Amino acid sequence: PADVLDADFYGFQRRLTEAEQISVAEIRDYLEREVRPGADDRWEATTSPRHLIPGFAELGLFGSGIPEVAHFENSAVYRGWIALEIARVDPSTATFIGVHSGLAMNAIAVGGSPEQKSEWLEPMARGELIGAFGLTEPLHGSDTAKGLETTATRRTNADGADEWVLNGAKRWIGNATFADVVVIWARDTADDQVKGFLVRQPATGFTATKIERKQSLRAVENADIVLEDVIVPESDRLQEIHGFRDVAIVLRLTRADVAWQAIGVAVGAYEAALAYAKTRVQFGKPIASFQLVQQKLADSLADITASIALCVRVSEMLDEDAQKDHHSAMAKAFATKKMREVVARSRELMGGNGIQLDHGAARFFADAEAVYTFEGTYDMNTLIVGRAITGIAAFV
């Protein structure tokens, strides 16, 4: 089994089964060998780690929460822990995997018919086919449930086949520039309900343009998508999605994983700052010997520890079939808020060197901003908890 990370102060990792901890050890080793060495360069060059896809698949990182394709029976805490481990080394890689495995594969696992699951899930788990998840639009982010404008119109074509015509636009869609299948969420013009469509690539009328000049998660490719009369056969509509309520099931599952990802971002920055504080000498002493520096380190470790405790429980609730939207929303809001504080303190502890990629905190500092915002902003997740507390939705 893997050693407990120093940042895992209470040793939560020991709650995993032995098989899970052996897997953590393998994954941690792979991340150190293959992912960490090029992470800053990929970030600067804005290239996603596509060459590592076969390695990720071999480690079982794709679809590990989907029993049909998981490499071994595992718990939600294990899967969260893996998100932490990946983000601790490279938040961009964690996001790439989160989009393919968490969002796209879960959309098919939750919303697909048996035929759709058997067509897509195995090749996606093997990394032979890559997925994207297109929900957000240029004019609708937090309010997609109500505001989503992309349309799907059902028709019978000249050959008598049942098909859909999609029109609209999507923004921020991860992996969409190179994905083999993009799940597009669109509103049925007949019943006004949101439905899901598997848009196979390439598709006539579908364009995905890489979003340039991002300053966060630079090694993930995000795209602006335009859909102009894109035709999708009825057999590629996700058969078990009947409205936004079903999309929310996918989001609830992935939101808790993003909370774990946020802890990983915090741990990555904290570890860099701690190492720096032990070696950086000012006033003739390592800065780690100053009380104010120790306070920052202790505050960060407490934030990380509290976030892990919260996330362990929210993942256990998933396995107990007791997890509700507001539970994962609280975990995402809390862990990302604490992450933002930890990365800022870590950057600060490194003085001027903290803003430069080479010293290990800057990438986490910048990446934290996107993690704070995607999969429901801090505000929206807080308001989901507020609705659970008061019974009043403050966001509509």
Q: Is 105 buried (19+), middle (13-18) or exposed (0-12) by CB count in 10 A? A: buried
Helices and strands in the chain: count of H runs, count of E runs: 13, 9
Per CB under 6 A, the segment of 73-81, 134-142, 146-154, 155-163 that binds ligand FAD is 134-142
Task: Choose which of 52, 89, 99, 272 interacts with ligand FAD (CB under 6 A).
Answer: 99
Task: Choose which of 135, 273, 333, 342 interacts with ligand FAD (CB under 6 A).
Answer: 135
3-state secondary structure 149-215: CCEEEEEECCCCCEEEEEEEEEEEEECCCCCCEEEEEEEECCCCCEEEEEEECCCCCEEEEECCCCC
3-state secondary structure 318-387: HHCCCCCHHHHHHHHHHHHHHHHHHHHHHHHHCHHHHHCHHHCCHHHHHHHHHHHHCCCCHHHHHHHHHH
Residues 200-239 that bind ligand FAD (CB under 6 A): 217, 222
Q: Is 320 buried (19+), middle (13-18) or exposed (0-12) by CB count in 10 A? A: exposed
Read off φ and ψ for residue 166, nearest 5 degrees: -105, 135
Taking Cα atoms as reference points, which of 273, 282, 322, 259 lies closest to residue 301?
Answer: 273
Q: Is 80 buried (19+), middle (13-18) or exposed (0-12) by CB count in 10 A? A: buried
Nearer to ligand FAD, 174 or 354 (CB): 174
Cα 371 versus chain centre, distance? 8
CB of 72 to ligand FAD, least distance (A): 28
How close are the terminal C-alpha atoms of the chain, in Å? 48
Nearer to ligand FAD, 299 or 379 (CB): 379
CB of 44 to ligand FAD, least distance (A): 16
Per CB under 6 A, the segment of 1-9, 145-153, 272-280, 370-378 that binds ligand FAD is 370-378
CB of 131 to ligand FAD, least distance (A): 10
CB of 286 to ligand FAD, least distance (A): 36
CB of 95 to ligand FAD, least distance (A): 7
Task: Choose which of 125, 266, 374, 385 interacts with ligand FAD (CB under 6 A).
Answer: 374
141 binding ligand FAD? (CB under 6 A): yes
370 binding ligand FAD? (CB under 6 A): yes
Nearer to ligand FAD, 65 or 134 (CB): 134
Task: Choose which of 49, 65, 131, 174 interacts with ligand FAD (CB under 6 A).
Answer: 174
Q: Is 226 helix (H, G, I), strand (E, B) or coil?
A: strand
* Total chain residues near ligand FAD (CB under 6 A): 21
Yes or no: say if 255 and 314 are a contact pair by the CB < 8 Å rule. no
Nearer to ligand FAD, 105 or 383 (CB): 383
Longest dimension (CA), the chain: 82
Task: Choose which of 151, 167, 193, 373 interacts with ligand FAD (CB under 6 A).
Answer: 373
133 binding ligand FAD? (CB under 6 A): yes
172 binding ligand FAD? (CB under 6 A): yes
Taking Cα atoms as reference points, which of 15, 12, 91 lies closest to residue 306?
Answer: 12
Q: Is 322 buried (19+), middle (13-18) or exposed (0-12) by CB count in 10 A? A: exposed
136 binding ligand FAD? (CB under 6 A): yes
Nearer to ligand FAD, 19 or 394 (CB): 394
Q: Which residue is nearest to ligand FAD (CB)?
A: 141
CB of 216 to ligand FAD, least distance (A): 6
395 binding ligand FAD? (CB under 6 A): yes
Task: Please state whether beta strands 206-210 and 131-134 pair in parallel, antiparallel, or not at all (unpaired).
Answer: unpaired
380 binding ligand FAD? (CB under 6 A): yes
Residues 251-310 that bind ligand FAD (CB under 6 A): none
Nearer to ligand FAD, 250 or 274 (CB): 250
Yes or no: say if 228 and 168 are a contact pair by the CB < 8 Å rule. no
Nearer to ligand FAD, 8 or 221 (CB): 221
CB of 113 to ligand FAD, least distance (A): 23
The secondary structure of residue 272, as a DSSP letter, is H
Which residues lie near ligand FAD (CB under 6 A)?
Answer: 99, 133-136, 141-142, 172-174, 217, 222, 370, 373-375, 377, 379-380, 383, 395
